[in-house]
Homo-oligomer: A and B are copies of this chain.
Amino acid sequence: MRHIRFPTSDLRPPASERRVLLGHGSGGKLSADLVEELIVPRFSNPALDALGDSAVVAIPEGGGRLAITTDSYVVDPIFFPGGDIGDLAVNGTVNDLAMAGADPLYLTLGMVIEEGLLFSDLERVLDSVKRSADSAGVKVVAGDTKVVPRGKADKLFLNTSGVGLVPAGFVSARENIGPGDAVILSGTIGDHGVAVMSKRAGLGFATEVRSDTAALHRMAAALRRLGGALRFMRDPTRGGLAATLCEACRGRPCGVEIGETVIPIDPGVRAACDLLGLDPLHVANEGKMVAFVAPERADEALAAMRGFVEGNDAAVIGRAVETRPGMVVLLTRAGGKRIVDLPAGEILPRIC
Protein backbone atom coordinates (compact mmCIF):
# COMPACT_ATOMS: atom_id res chain seq x y z
CA MET A 1 0.00 0.00 0.00
CA ARG A 2 1.31 3.38 -0.95
CA HIS A 3 1.15 6.40 1.25
CA ILE A 4 -0.26 9.43 -0.37
CA ARG A 5 1.24 12.50 1.17
CA PHE A 6 -0.80 15.69 1.05
CA PRO A 7 1.10 18.92 1.10
CA THR A 8 1.16 20.36 4.57
CA SER A 9 2.37 23.84 3.72
CA ASP A 10 0.66 26.32 1.44
CA LEU A 11 -0.57 25.46 -2.01
CA ARG A 12 0.84 28.44 -3.84
CA PRO A 13 2.94 27.75 -6.90
CA PRO A 14 6.71 28.01 -6.51
CA ALA A 15 8.03 31.57 -6.53
CA SER A 16 9.36 31.23 -10.06
CA GLU A 17 5.84 30.56 -11.35
CA ARG A 18 3.93 33.19 -9.40
CA ARG A 19 1.92 35.47 -11.63
CA VAL A 20 0.19 38.81 -11.27
CA LEU A 21 -3.56 38.42 -10.73
CA LEU A 22 -6.35 40.85 -11.49
CA GLY A 23 -6.75 41.27 -7.75
CA HIS A 24 -3.30 42.83 -7.50
CA GLY A 25 -4.87 45.90 -9.07
CA SER A 26 -8.00 45.96 -6.95
CA GLY A 27 -7.07 48.39 -4.22
CA GLY A 28 -7.66 45.58 -1.71
CA LYS A 29 -5.46 43.10 0.16
CA LEU A 30 -3.55 41.82 -2.84
CA SER A 31 -2.78 45.37 -3.94
CA ALA A 32 -1.47 46.20 -0.51
CA ASP A 33 0.62 43.00 -0.52
CA LEU A 34 2.14 43.90 -3.87
CA VAL A 35 3.11 47.37 -2.71
CA GLU A 36 4.56 46.09 0.54
CA GLU A 37 6.36 43.16 -0.99
CA LEU A 38 7.71 44.65 -4.21
CA ILE A 39 7.65 48.43 -4.03
CA VAL A 40 8.42 49.65 -0.53
CA PRO A 41 11.50 47.45 0.07
CA ARG A 42 13.05 48.57 -3.22
CA PHE A 43 12.24 52.24 -3.37
CA SER A 44 12.01 53.17 0.31
CA ASN A 45 12.34 56.91 0.93
CA PRO A 46 10.41 59.16 3.32
CA ALA A 47 8.15 60.66 0.63
CA LEU A 48 7.22 57.24 -0.78
CA ASP A 49 7.00 55.38 2.50
CA ALA A 50 4.17 57.59 3.73
CA LEU A 51 2.09 55.83 1.02
CA GLY A 52 -0.17 58.85 0.87
CA ASP A 53 -2.27 59.95 -2.07
CA SER A 54 0.65 62.14 -3.11
CA ALA A 55 4.30 62.29 -2.19
CA VAL A 56 5.14 65.51 -0.36
CA VAL A 57 8.66 66.84 -0.87
CA ALA A 58 10.55 70.03 -0.09
CA ILE A 59 10.59 72.72 -2.74
CA PRO A 60 14.13 72.81 -4.10
CA GLU A 61 16.12 75.74 -2.77
CA GLY A 62 18.27 78.15 -4.69
CA GLY A 63 15.73 79.57 -7.08
CA GLY A 64 15.10 78.44 -10.62
CA ARG A 65 12.15 76.78 -12.24
CA LEU A 66 10.58 73.35 -12.24
CA ALA A 67 10.81 71.03 -15.20
CA ILE A 68 7.92 68.55 -15.50
CA THR A 69 7.69 65.71 -18.00
CA THR A 70 5.92 62.43 -18.67
CA ASP A 71 6.54 59.40 -20.86
CA SER A 72 4.80 56.08 -21.32
CA TYR A 73 6.80 52.99 -22.28
CA VAL A 74 5.28 50.16 -24.31
CA VAL A 75 8.46 48.59 -25.68
CA ASP A 76 8.15 45.05 -27.07
CA PRO A 77 9.88 42.89 -25.88
CA ILE A 78 10.24 44.20 -22.33
CA PHE A 79 13.74 42.68 -22.08
CA PHE A 80 16.25 43.31 -24.85
CA PRO A 81 20.03 43.34 -25.28
CA GLY A 82 21.47 46.15 -23.17
CA GLY A 83 18.38 46.96 -21.14
CA ASP A 84 14.72 46.51 -20.36
CA ILE A 85 11.55 48.55 -20.03
CA GLY A 86 12.58 49.51 -16.49
CA ASP A 87 15.86 51.31 -17.15
CA LEU A 88 14.41 52.66 -20.38
CA ALA A 89 11.60 54.32 -18.42
CA VAL A 90 13.95 55.84 -15.85
CA ASN A 91 16.61 57.00 -18.29
CA GLY A 92 14.08 58.30 -20.79
CA THR A 93 12.40 60.56 -18.29
CA VAL A 94 15.69 61.62 -16.68
CA ASN A 95 16.85 62.61 -20.16
CA ASP A 96 13.69 64.58 -20.91
CA LEU A 97 14.38 66.60 -17.77
CA ALA A 98 18.07 66.92 -18.60
CA MET A 99 17.40 68.20 -22.12
CA ALA A 100 15.31 71.01 -20.62
CA GLY A 101 18.39 71.93 -18.60
CA ALA A 102 17.04 70.47 -15.37
CA ASP A 103 18.69 68.49 -12.62
CA PRO A 104 16.30 65.52 -12.23
CA LEU A 105 14.96 65.08 -8.70
CA TYR A 106 11.81 62.98 -8.48
CA LEU A 107 10.13 60.29 -10.54
CA THR A 108 6.72 58.70 -10.39
CA LEU A 109 6.10 55.17 -11.64
CA GLY A 110 2.77 54.06 -13.10
CA MET A 111 2.37 50.42 -14.10
CA VAL A 112 -0.31 48.84 -16.28
CA ILE A 113 0.19 45.10 -15.93
CA GLU A 114 -1.41 42.36 -18.02
CA GLU A 115 -2.88 39.65 -15.82
CA GLY A 116 -0.58 36.64 -15.78
CA LEU A 117 2.73 38.50 -15.92
CA LEU A 118 5.33 36.46 -14.07
CA PHE A 119 6.23 37.95 -10.71
CA SER A 120 9.84 37.20 -11.53
CA ASP A 121 9.62 39.36 -14.66
CA LEU A 122 7.98 42.18 -12.73
CA GLU A 123 10.65 41.96 -10.05
CA ARG A 124 13.39 42.01 -12.65
CA VAL A 125 11.94 45.19 -14.15
CA LEU A 126 11.52 46.82 -10.73
CA ASP A 127 15.13 45.94 -9.86
CA SER A 128 16.14 47.65 -13.05
CA VAL A 129 14.05 50.74 -12.23
CA LYS A 130 15.68 50.85 -8.81
CA ARG A 131 19.21 50.41 -10.13
CA SER A 132 18.90 53.07 -12.80
CA ALA A 133 17.14 55.53 -10.48
CA ASP A 134 19.90 55.11 -7.90
CA SER A 135 22.53 55.47 -10.54
CA ALA A 136 20.93 58.67 -11.81
CA GLY A 137 20.44 60.00 -8.27
CA VAL A 138 16.66 60.39 -8.58
CA LYS A 139 14.02 59.21 -6.13
CA VAL A 140 10.86 57.32 -7.03
CA VAL A 141 8.37 59.11 -4.77
CA ALA A 142 4.97 57.94 -6.00
CA GLY A 143 3.55 55.02 -7.91
CA ASP A 144 0.40 53.34 -9.11
CA THR A 145 -0.47 49.80 -10.19
CA LYS A 146 -3.30 48.75 -12.47
CA VAL A 147 -3.92 45.21 -13.70
CA VAL A 148 -6.00 44.46 -16.81
CA PRO A 149 -7.28 41.04 -17.94
CA ARG A 150 -5.21 38.85 -20.26
CA GLY A 151 -5.28 40.12 -23.82
CA LYS A 152 -6.13 43.70 -22.81
CA ALA A 153 -2.52 44.88 -22.59
CA ASP A 154 0.83 43.36 -23.52
CA LYS A 155 2.74 42.20 -20.43
CA LEU A 156 3.69 45.57 -18.97
CA PHE A 157 3.38 49.25 -19.80
CA LEU A 158 5.18 51.81 -17.63
CA ASN A 159 4.73 55.52 -17.22
CA THR A 160 7.41 57.61 -15.61
CA SER A 161 6.78 61.25 -14.93
CA GLY A 162 9.55 63.44 -13.63
CA VAL A 163 10.20 66.67 -11.78
CA GLY A 164 13.50 68.50 -11.88
CA LEU A 165 15.01 71.87 -11.17
CA VAL A 166 16.22 74.21 -13.91
CA PRO A 167 18.92 76.59 -12.66
CA ALA A 168 17.97 80.26 -12.75
CA GLY A 169 18.79 81.87 -16.07
CA PHE A 170 19.35 78.73 -18.10
CA VAL A 171 17.36 78.34 -21.31
CA SER A 172 17.62 75.61 -23.94
CA ALA A 173 15.41 76.60 -26.87
CA ARG A 174 15.49 75.93 -30.56
CA GLU A 175 14.79 79.65 -31.11
CA ASN A 176 18.35 80.31 -29.90
CA ILE A 177 19.92 78.43 -32.80
CA GLY A 178 21.79 80.72 -35.20
CA PRO A 179 23.71 80.27 -38.47
CA GLY A 180 27.09 78.66 -37.98
CA ASP A 181 26.20 76.89 -34.73
CA ALA A 182 27.86 73.51 -34.46
CA VAL A 183 25.67 70.41 -34.28
CA ILE A 184 27.26 67.95 -31.87
CA LEU A 185 26.05 64.37 -31.47
CA SER A 186 27.10 62.50 -28.33
CA GLY A 187 27.72 59.11 -29.97
CA THR A 188 26.59 56.41 -32.37
CA ILE A 189 23.01 56.33 -33.65
CA GLY A 190 20.47 53.55 -34.06
CA ASP A 191 21.73 51.19 -31.35
CA HIS A 192 18.53 51.09 -29.30
CA GLY A 193 16.16 50.58 -32.22
CA VAL A 194 18.27 47.85 -33.77
CA ALA A 195 18.72 46.06 -30.43
CA VAL A 196 14.95 45.93 -29.84
CA MET A 197 14.12 45.02 -33.44
CA SER A 198 16.63 42.23 -33.67
CA LYS A 199 15.44 40.75 -30.38
CA ARG A 200 11.82 40.99 -31.44
CA ALA A 201 12.44 39.46 -34.83
CA GLY A 202 14.70 36.79 -33.39
CA LEU A 203 17.49 37.90 -35.69
CA GLY A 204 20.92 36.75 -34.69
CA PHE A 205 23.54 39.13 -35.97
CA ALA A 206 27.19 38.16 -35.82
CA THR A 207 27.85 40.79 -33.17
CA GLU A 208 24.97 41.56 -30.84
CA VAL A 209 23.82 45.17 -30.94
CA ARG A 210 22.96 46.48 -27.49
CA SER A 211 20.59 49.29 -26.56
CA ASP A 212 22.35 52.53 -25.65
CA THR A 213 19.89 53.31 -22.83
CA ALA A 214 21.68 55.69 -20.48
CA ALA A 215 21.05 58.75 -18.32
CA LEU A 216 22.49 61.91 -19.86
CA HIS A 217 21.85 64.46 -17.12
CA ARG A 218 25.43 64.68 -15.92
CA MET A 219 26.73 65.31 -19.42
CA ALA A 220 23.95 67.85 -20.02
CA ALA A 221 24.78 69.61 -16.75
CA ALA A 222 28.41 69.86 -17.82
CA LEU A 223 27.31 71.48 -21.07
CA ARG A 224 25.21 74.01 -19.17
CA ARG A 225 28.48 75.62 -18.10
CA LEU A 226 28.70 76.98 -21.64
CA GLY A 227 25.88 79.35 -20.71
CA GLY A 228 24.24 81.03 -23.70
CA ALA A 229 26.72 79.40 -26.08
CA LEU A 230 24.75 76.19 -25.52
CA ARG A 231 21.71 76.99 -27.68
CA PHE A 232 19.60 73.87 -27.55
CA MET A 233 19.76 70.23 -26.43
CA ARG A 234 17.54 67.31 -27.30
CA ASP A 235 17.73 63.53 -27.21
CA PRO A 236 16.93 61.82 -30.51
CA THR A 237 14.55 59.04 -29.38
CA ARG A 238 11.48 58.01 -31.45
CA GLY A 239 11.90 59.22 -35.00
CA GLY A 240 15.67 59.17 -34.58
CA LEU A 241 18.25 61.85 -35.33
CA ALA A 242 16.20 62.91 -38.36
CA ALA A 243 13.14 63.82 -36.30
CA THR A 244 15.20 65.73 -33.73
CA LEU A 245 16.99 67.83 -36.32
CA CYS A 246 13.81 68.47 -38.33
CA GLU A 247 11.99 69.60 -35.20
CA ALA A 248 14.92 71.81 -34.20
CA CYS A 249 14.71 73.88 -37.36
CA ARG A 250 11.11 73.52 -38.53
CA GLY A 251 9.68 76.94 -39.37
CA ARG A 252 12.91 78.67 -38.32
CA PRO A 253 15.17 80.93 -40.39
CA CYS A 254 18.00 78.37 -40.12
CA GLY A 255 18.39 74.94 -41.60
CA VAL A 256 20.83 72.19 -40.68
CA GLU A 257 23.51 70.57 -42.83
CA ILE A 258 25.00 67.28 -41.65
CA GLY A 259 27.65 65.03 -43.15
CA GLU A 260 26.92 61.34 -43.69
CA THR A 261 30.56 60.38 -43.26
CA VAL A 262 30.94 62.05 -39.85
CA ILE A 263 27.83 60.61 -38.15
CA PRO A 264 29.04 57.84 -35.84
CA ILE A 265 27.38 54.49 -36.57
CA ASP A 266 28.34 51.12 -35.17
CA PRO A 267 29.14 48.65 -38.00
CA GLY A 268 26.67 46.16 -36.55
CA VAL A 269 23.92 48.75 -36.60
CA ARG A 270 24.77 49.71 -40.15
CA ALA A 271 24.66 46.08 -41.27
CA ALA A 272 21.33 45.51 -39.51
CA CYS A 273 19.82 48.65 -41.03
CA ASP A 274 20.93 47.55 -44.49
CA LEU A 275 19.37 44.15 -43.92
CA LEU A 276 16.11 45.52 -42.53
CA GLY A 277 15.83 48.37 -45.00
CA LEU A 278 16.01 51.05 -42.34
CA ASP A 279 17.57 54.50 -42.51
CA PRO A 280 19.71 54.79 -39.34
CA LEU A 281 18.73 58.47 -39.21
CA HIS A 282 15.17 57.34 -38.40
CA VAL A 283 16.05 54.70 -35.82
CA ALA A 284 15.49 55.44 -32.12
CA ASN A 285 18.23 56.12 -29.59
CA GLU A 286 17.84 56.10 -25.82
CA GLY A 287 21.18 57.36 -24.61
CA LYS A 288 22.25 60.00 -27.10
CA MET A 289 21.88 63.74 -27.29
CA VAL A 290 22.28 66.49 -29.84
CA ALA A 291 23.63 69.88 -28.77
CA PHE A 292 23.63 73.06 -30.83
CA VAL A 293 26.63 75.12 -29.70
CA ALA A 294 28.10 78.48 -30.73
CA PRO A 295 30.95 77.67 -33.18
CA GLU A 296 33.70 79.22 -31.09
CA ARG A 297 32.79 76.98 -28.14
CA ALA A 298 32.30 73.77 -30.13
CA ASP A 299 35.69 72.26 -29.25
CA GLU A 300 35.09 72.93 -25.59
CA ALA A 301 31.65 71.32 -25.74
CA LEU A 302 33.03 68.31 -27.58
CA ALA A 303 35.76 67.85 -24.98
CA ALA A 304 33.22 68.13 -22.17
CA MET A 305 31.01 65.45 -23.72
CA ARG A 306 33.92 63.11 -24.38
CA GLY A 307 34.75 63.30 -20.69
CA PHE A 308 31.70 61.10 -20.03
CA VAL A 309 31.40 57.42 -20.92
CA GLU A 310 28.11 58.14 -22.67
CA GLY A 311 29.82 60.86 -24.74
CA ASN A 312 33.02 59.02 -25.67
CA ASP A 313 32.15 58.97 -29.35
CA ALA A 314 30.83 62.54 -29.51
CA ALA A 315 31.38 64.26 -32.85
CA VAL A 316 30.56 67.47 -34.64
CA ILE A 317 28.22 66.21 -37.33
CA GLY A 318 27.20 69.46 -38.99
CA ARG A 319 26.14 73.05 -38.56
CA ALA A 320 23.20 75.38 -38.73
CA VAL A 321 23.00 77.19 -42.09
CA GLU A 322 20.97 80.00 -43.62
CA THR A 323 20.85 78.50 -47.10
CA ARG A 324 17.86 76.21 -46.58
CA PRO A 325 15.71 77.63 -43.80
CA GLY A 326 13.77 75.03 -41.83
CA MET A 327 15.29 72.07 -43.66
CA VAL A 328 17.78 69.34 -42.86
CA VAL A 329 20.23 68.44 -45.63
CA LEU A 330 22.53 65.42 -45.62
CA LEU A 331 25.83 65.67 -47.50
CA THR A 332 26.06 62.09 -48.69
CA ARG A 333 29.03 59.79 -48.83
CA ALA A 334 28.84 59.96 -52.62
CA GLY A 335 29.16 63.74 -52.57
CA GLY A 336 25.50 64.53 -53.22
CA LYS A 337 22.87 66.27 -51.10
CA ARG A 338 19.69 64.71 -49.78
CA ILE A 339 16.86 66.32 -47.88
CA VAL A 340 16.22 64.56 -44.56
CA ASP A 341 12.60 64.46 -43.48
CA LEU A 342 10.56 63.14 -40.58
CA PRO A 343 9.59 59.52 -41.04
CA ALA A 344 6.01 59.65 -42.37
CA GLY A 345 4.45 56.89 -40.35
CA GLU A 346 5.48 53.94 -38.26
CA ILE A 347 8.83 52.38 -38.97
CA LEU A 348 9.49 50.56 -35.75
CA PRO A 349 6.38 50.20 -33.61
CA ARG A 350 6.77 49.87 -29.83
CA ILE A 351 10.43 50.74 -29.78
CA CYS A 352 10.16 52.56 -26.43
Contact = CB atoms under 8 A, between A and B. Distances in A.
Contacts of A166: 56
Interface stretch (A126-134, A142-150, A206-214, A323-331): A142-150
Given A23-B345, A345-B22, A68 B54 contact: yes
B70 A53 contact: no
Contact of A56 (B25, B50, B67): B67
Interface stretch (A27-35, A181-189, A270-278, A308-316): A27-35
Interface in A281-327: 282, 284
Name the interface size band of chain A. Answer: 35 or more
A99 B52 contact: yes
A153 interface: yes
A173 interface: yes
A65 B72 contact: no
A66 interface: yes
A95 interface: yes
Contacts of A243: 27-28
Interface stretch (A78-86, A117-125, A233-241, A258-266): A233-241
A26 interface: yes
A137 interface: no
B144 A71 contact: yes
Contacts of A32: 247, 342
A101 B148 CA distance: 31
B159 A70 contact: yes
A73 to B, nearest CB: 8
B56 A59 contact: no
A11 to B, nearest CB: 15
Contacts of A110: 70-72, 110, 159, 161
A43 interface: no
Contact of A238 (B31, B50, B52, B239): B31
A69 B96 contact: no
Given A25-B346, A28-B347, A66 B57 contact: yes
What 3 A-B pairs are tightest by C-beta distance, nearest first? A27-B238, A23-B345, A27-B239
18 contacts: A25-B349, A26-B239, A26-B343, A27-B238, A27-B284, A28-B239, A50-B173, A53-B97, A56-B65, A72-B144, A73-B146, A74-B112, A76-B152, A108-B161, A147-B346, A152-B154, A153-B154, A161-B161
